[in-house]
Structure 1
């Protein structure tokens, strides 16, 4: 990434959760089996009729994982831990069709191995300014006074504050003049069966003049993404690896492009993967000391959806 950036050669990149695997490919050399699009406007074509069935892990299994996380939070080993699960799903659409019909800010269909339709920016670099937009806090928009409820919820406010502080500290590792430009604003996300409200913030800072040749170094310092692990990051990742009984792989990693001048990238959430000829949807949420296990379980399930509407 540093080498191609220094040469101002446009490239695609993809990095997994633990920074153990990835791809860095010049745009001119990309094969047809890697498809991606960013900030695509809603298509006017009607989506194909489809069926969607989710088979979440039993609550009794989830609570065992939750207890590991919650005990570490109680002991002060973490302030916020993102706990995720793998949910088997059934859908009568191919990955190509899911990629085509879903409505999302960032979409990726990687070699028919997984498809991602993410609403969350990781970082953007535009004319030497780096910005991040962490998303923490989700509620069903159909609930009466949903926006007021989510913004006044003490647990959600604490969770969001922790992530904003973490991202601000992370950006300070690579940038100067880091500031929170917007704090806890509402994004609207449509799913196949409902609309969700998601709470976001905007944080930015200034990079040095030679950032082109340091793109890989910047991402190495910032990953894994704070919004999908927690704080403090190193210890929280250890807790995640103990509590979760599956491999995230590229889920909660990042993918993006360098266009020769600027960078745009997404956190790989809203993610369906093929595993032994079965489809697995990976989802989760942030756990704090004030979290309620049943509520977190329901949020994990709520995030298993395809945004086709």
Structure 2
């Protein structure tokens, strides 16, 4: 067991996380957890022992700091990643796609922020159903559930496809975009297969519905689907096994997972850490969890915002680069 942060949490191995989740799940003991993208480790902490400086919000529970007045004027500018570096990574991804190693890969890069906002400002003010703040480390304000469980029914809401809402005829263009349609269908199929490993009766009640999200730079439209299935009796005592069986999240890795993750490690020139991992809360009976996207992280150079998008053989480097930049936003006005 290794120290994780100065916030009083520990980074456990994968097997230690699974054992703790299984034991506490079976006991009906509420806990908070977070798992990095590589799913090789994670932290799990009882709900009554969450350290000072760690805050979270999910539909089941909210423990967020109070918002304080923002600086005047607010400064928020992003320095995009180097386009040539992005193109090298994009070319690496395309070589894997052409070889058939993957047919959808989520490529991510960091953008350095010039801002007078703090991590606590981002977390406290963001309008988002899933939030996690480890003060001094990172703030995540994710719109995307990983899996939820209510009454033994597991649901996932894969999110793929975005467009600025002010684009003429935006909703129709998003729904009819061939690249976006294929990308979304691939992820839904992947999630169906994932849930079928742990659930029975897996089906898709809603496919590719459109939602609007307000951001500091205007509204965007995004497409999501709902995939659900029934967990077996006693799932709480196997909660760790169930969750880790589903990792990493398909919407932020790609398909097929094993070979796609290998390609991601080759293409991306850094470790993702908790970005695109998952975090969540078990209240003793039900579960909420989220994909850790919309992620601001402290670094030696200041705050960075991590973003990305799905790449297929139909993708264009300039268009994907612009999409990556468009995703550097905060869901609150200033």
Q: Same fold (TM over 0.5)?
A: yes
Report 1:65-214 matches (<5 A): 65-214=89-238
Cross-structure match for 1:15: 35
User: Is residue 83–residue 287 contact of structure 1 (8 Å, CA) maintained in 2?
Assistant: yes
Q: How far 1:32 moved relative to its partner?
A: 2.0
Cross-structure match for 1:33: 53
User: Is residue 119–residue 135 contact of structure 2 (8 Å, CA) maintained in 1?
Assistant: no
Q: How far 1:9 moved relative to its partner?
A: 0.3
Counterpart CA distance in 1 for 2:332 and 2:215 is 6
Let me know the Cα RMSD of the aligned residues: 1.3
Q: Does 1:3 align with 2:27?
A: no
User: Is residue 252–residue 269 contact of structure 1 (8 Å, CA) maintained in 2?
Assistant: yes
Q: How far 1:47 moved relative to its partner?
A: 6.7
User: Is residue 79–residue 232 contact of structure 1 (8 Å, CA) maintained in 2?
Assistant: yes
Cross-structure match for 1:253: 277
Q: How far 1:277 moved relative to its partner?
A: 4.8
**Residues paired across the two proteins, number:** 305
Give CA deviations for 1:264-302 in whole Å, capped at 9, x if unaligned. 000000001111151111100000110111110000001
Cross-structure match for 1:244: 268
Q: For 1:61, which of 85, 91, 110 is the aligned residue?
A: 85
Find the residue that maps to 2:161 and give its secondary structure.
strand
Find the residue that maps to 2:271 and give its secondary structure.
coil
Counterpart CA distance in 2 for 1:123 and 1:12 is 14
TM (norm. structure 1) is 0.96
User: Is residue 11–residue 259 contact of structure 1 (8 Å, CA) maintained in 2?
Assistant: yes
Give CA deviations for 1:98-150 in whole Å, capped at 9, x if unaligned. 21111111111113200000000000010000000000001000001100001
Give CA deviations for 1:144-185 in whole Å, capped at 9, x if unaligned. 110000100000000000000000000000000000110000
Q: For 1:52, which of 55, 76, 96 is the aligned residue?
A: 76
User: Is residue 86–residue 246 contact of structure 1 (8 Å, CA) maintained in 2?
Assistant: no
Q: Does 1:273 align with 2:297?
A: yes
Counterpart CA distance in 2 for 1:185 and 1:46 is 35
Find the residue that maps to 2:149 and give its secondary structure.
strand
Counterpart CA distance in 1 for 2:213 and 2:41 is 30
Counterpart CA distance in 2 for 1:201 and 1:226 is 13
User: Is residue 25–residue 236 contact of structure 2 (8 Å, CA) maintained in 1?
Assistant: yes
Find the residue that maps to 1:62 and give its secondary structure.
helix
Counterpart CA distance in 1 for 2:301 and 2:237 is 41
Give CA deviations for 1:197-243 in whole Å, capped at 9, x if unaligned. 11100000000111010110011100000000000000000000000
Find the residue that maps to 2:281 and give its secondary structure.
strand
